[in-house]
Amino acid sequence: MIVAGEYQTLRIGRIAEPGIYLTDEQEQEVLLPNRYVHIDDKVGNLVEVFVYHDSENRLIATRERPLATVGEAAVLKAVDRNAHGVFLDWGITAKDLFLPNRNVPFEVEIGRKYLVWLYRDNLTGRVVATTKLNPYVNNTDICVRPKEQVDILVARRMEAGYRVVVNNRNWGMIYSNQIFTPVAVGDRLTAYVHRISEDGRIDLMLQQEGKDQTDNAATKLLELLRAHKGTLPIGDKSSPEEIASLTGLSKKNFKRAAGALYKQHLITIGDTTTTLNK
């Protein structure tokens, strides 16, 4: 069944003047307009597309990839409004995402970005947005476990760090003293569950803990050394800020990674330099 708001793999059924018509197993059709047609598209080929409703309520396919799909949170920019709501840029050239007035309990400023949830309207089948995330993202049921790798959406800057959406299900927190690379609201990142408190708070880290973390940091340090002709201007006595700026690692993780490479006789570590052994 062809529905809006999802990626679907469909078969090219026929070629027509406005584009190519894609079909599903029930022979339902959707148009892929000419601007998305490739020269090697032929009848019978399979095509992965995203489906949405156009301004005339027709299902349309696109090869563009939106910033979010149904069942996901996203941080999107408000670009226009009418009497019924606001339109958000979700990465599809020909169609903005609608945020109805009923789904936003505050005044929206055009040009600013807002955290929203995407869902399919039960009556129209259209994809719409809401700023009321509590029914969809909450910590009533924790769906992750400690040390698990998760996908996060950076949702809000806070005094202690960043509030994030974890796997599109739960709220989590990354604290500033655990961030060693640039982070911005709207970023989609990989993170690791550090701990889950008794009251359901999920604390995360952007780097793995333990041996896996050291192995990954050591690999990254080797790659950086090779990219900088075998020498980095950081060492045992470099400041945490210098190390984080150059490597994206905390000083502790840098020293662990450097120590592991030193034991393998791969590098030499000085006070302010690290050198790749020949």
User: The CATH number of the domain where 192 resides is what?
Assistant: 2.40.50.140
**Does residue 222 lie in a domain region?**
yes
The reply to whether 80 and 35 lie within a common domain is no
The reply to whether 218 and 263 lie within a common domain is yes
Predicted confidence (pLDDT) at residue 258 exceeds the cutoff of 70? yes
Q: Given the DSSP bridges, would you call strands 149-158 and 188-196 parallel, antiparallel or unpaired?
A: antiparallel
Instruction: Tell me if 47 sits within 8 A of 41, measured CB to CB.
Output: yes
- Among 64-78, 154-168, 240-254, the range scoring the smallest mean pLDDT is 240-254
19: domain range? 7-62
The reply to whether 235 and 253 lie within a common domain is yes
**Does residue 136 lie in a domain region?**
no
Q: What is the mean pLDDT of residues 118-139?
A: 95
Q: How many domains does the chain have?
A: 4
Burial zone of 48 (CB within 10 Å; 0-12 exposed, 13-18 middle, 19+ buried): exposed
So what's the pLDDT on residue 263? 82
Which structure tokens are listed for 87? 């339109």
Distance between CA atoms of 21 and 64, rounded to whole angstroms?
17
So what's the pLDDT on residue 210? 57
The reply to whether 57 and 80 lie within a common domain is no
| Kind plus residue range of the DSSP H or E element containing 115 | strand 113-120
The reply to whether 258 and 215 lie within a common domain is yes
**Does residue 237 lie in a domain region?**
yes
**Does residue 218 lie in a domain region?**
yes
Contacts of 209 (CB under 8 A, 6+ apart): 147, 192, 194
Kindly report the average pLDDT of the chain as a whole number: 92
So what's the pLDDT on residue 62? 97
Which of these three, 130, 161, 178, is where a domain ends?
130
Check: pTM over 0.85? Answer yes or no.
no
Predicted confidence (pLDDT) at residue 211 exceeds the cutoff of 90? no
Q: What is the mean pLDDT of residues 7-33?
A: 95
Q: Which residue has the tokens 């202690």?
A: 160
- The CATH number assigned to the domain holding 257 equals 1.10.10.10
So what's the pLDDT on residue 212? 64
Predicted confidence (pLDDT) at residue 70 exceeds the cutoff of 90? yes
